[in-house]
Amino acid sequence: MDTSLLEALRTDPELQRRAAAALKEYGGRAALRLRKDGTDPELAAAALTLADLRRQAEAKFGERAGSLYFTRPGLEQATRWPVAARRAARFAEHVDRVTDLCCGIGTDALAFAEAGMEVEAVDANEETAAVARANAEALGLDVEVVVGDALAAGLGEAVFADPARRGGSTRSFNPAEYSPPLDRLLDRLEGIRFAAVKLGPGIRHEWVDREGAEAEWVSVDRDVVEACLWLGEAAEVRRRASVCKEGEWHELTGDGDRRAATGEVASYLYEPDGAVIRAGLVAELARELEAHTGHKDIAYLYTDGLRQTPFARAWKVREVWPLHPRKLRALLAERGIGRLTIKQRGTGIVPADLRKQLKLKGPEEATLVATRLGDRHAAILCEEA
């Protein structure tokens, strides 16, 4: 967002209100409505963009979204507020001051400040830094925001970094293409007492398997939202899966090297949370559930006991069939199943294509899990427990 437009919006809360109201009432005709009121077209467009981004931001920020300022790329990369607040609390247990590199629109810097720490936030882009300043002021928080290079900025004993994972309008999945590149950033953080780097959840393990480091994957209501690499004294375990379910946090830890035992289908099938799978902690969860896998490389767990766990969804197994579409069609028709959720791991089938082949009809509803059991492909009919 252009700094002059940002300043104009910050000093005109009435325009912000009118833009939000116009967007809600008139949708795509909201810009025309604002221009009829005499608002400058460029300023009207900025106000409507802000109103739209605030509406989208509610999923990440809740009620705070209505007070904050956003750019579209900044919102896409911004940390969800519960995740930022939890990370800030972990920092606050050990340090009083933190440097936030690649601060973006300032979400994590705000969380650090709200947790009682002194914060210096650094971003290479002047317009983005201006948005971070505006957000700190909007929440009444004391955050020093400066424009600078993350690889050259002065660092204290505690550092958090969130390197940009976008180049223009595209998302980069290669950490060497982050801005700054992840390998150079990690070299920069060598020797920092307490540090953490936010990463995309699809990060490959070879980037995070560093001696003395902790790799954490975070999910919120079954959506894996980020990974975080903890360095120096911040590293407590080798791997961690942090799961937020209905507002409560749960953690599963381990070394990520173990393998669960394999066996046959049992009375219940458990589908581990994505954070558990990405962290390589399926074996640790299997131990908690007294469960096993059906194939050494597939993260479905089976056990005869039903146990409550925040780390997996449980399904009651009804029947196990060969994975043959023509036979499945007849079996499902016999049972009157017309609404079917199809899940698959390890079979290569495309659920949408299989659904077309099944030609479902009937009043009943079920879930079908297509997977591998040892060397054979199987279809497991089940219902959520």
Q: What does DSSP assign to residue 251?
A: E
For residue 27, pLDDT over 60 is answered with yes
For residue 370, pLDDT over 70 is answered with yes
pLDDT of residue 80: 96
Residues 91, 142: Cα–Cα separation, whole Å: 17
56 in helix, strand or coil? helix
Instruction: Give the pLDDT band (50/70/90) at residue 1.
Output: confident
Question: 189-219: string of b/e by CB count within 10 Å (b at 16+)?
Answer: beebebbbbbbbbebeeebbeeeebbbbbbb
Q: At what angle do helices 13-26 and 3-10 cross, to 10 degrees?
A: 90
248-254 and 97-101 as β-strands: parallel, antiparallel, unpaired?
Answer: unpaired
Nearest residue to 12 via CA among 40, 31, 36: 40
Q: At what angle do helices 81-92 and 107-114 cross, to 10 degrees?
A: 50
Instruction: Give the pLDDT band (50/70/90) at residue 39.
Output: confident
Q: Which DSSP string do the residues of 79-140 spell out, in sequence order?
A: PPHHHHHHHHHHHHTT-SEEEEES-TTSHHHHHHHHTT-EEEEEES-HHHHHHHHHHHHHTT
Annotated domain spans of the chain: 3-59, 75-252
pLDDT of residue 174: 86
- Six-digit token string for 154: 């002065």
Q: At what angle do helices 107-114 and 126-138 cross, to 10 degrees?
A: 30
Whether the Cβ atoms of residue 240 and residue 215 lie closer than 8 Å to each other? yes
pLDDT of residue 173: 73
What are the backbone dihedrals phi and psi of residue 77, each rounded to the nearest 5 degrees, phi first? -90, -15
Nearest residue to 227 via CA among 89, 324, 87: 87
The predicted-structure confidence for 107-123, as pLDDT tens digits, reads as follows 999 999 999 999 999 99
Residues 108, 135: Cα–Cα separation, whole Å: 11
Residues 148, 385: Cα–Cα separation, whole Å: 53
The predicted-structure confidence for 233-248, as pLDDT tens digits, reads as follows 999 999 999 999 999 9
pLDDT of residue 166: 62
What burial class does residue 37 get, using C-beta atoms within 10 Å of its C-beta: 0-12 exposed, 13-18 middle, 19+ buried? exposed
The predicted-structure confidence for 318-353, as pLDDT tens digits, reads as follows 999 999 999 999 999 999 999 999 999 999 999 999
pLDDT of residue 362: 94
Percent with pLDDT over 90 in the chain: 92
In one-letter notation, the amino acid at residue 344 is: Q
pLDDT of residue 171: 61
The predicted-structure confidence for 241-293, as pLDDT tens digits, reads as follows 999 999 999 999 999 999 999 999 999 999 999 999 999 999 999 999 999 99
The number of angstroms, rounded, from the C-alpha of 186 to the middle of its chain's C-alpha atoms is 22
Nearest residue to 131 via CA among 149, 110, 162, 116: 110
The predicted-structure confidence for 354-368, as pLDDT tens digits, reads as follows 999 999 999 999 999
The predicted-structure confidence for 122-135, as pLDDT tens digits, reads as follows 999 999 999 999 99
pLDDT of residue 33: 84
- Six-digit token string for 68: 């904050």
Kindly state the average pLDDT of the residues 212-239. Answer: 97
Kindly state the average pLDDT of the residues 152-180. Answer: 83
376-384 and 312-322 as β-strands: parallel, antiparallel, unpaired?
Answer: antiparallel
pLDDT of residue 170: 53
What are the backbone dihedrals phi and psi of residue 14, each rounded to the nearest 5 degrees, phi first? -65, -40
Q: What is the mean pLDDT of the chain?
A: 94
Write the class of the CATH domain 75-252: alpha beta
pLDDT of residue 37: 80
pLDDT of residue 167: 53
Residues 129, 148: Cα–Cα separation, whole Å: 10
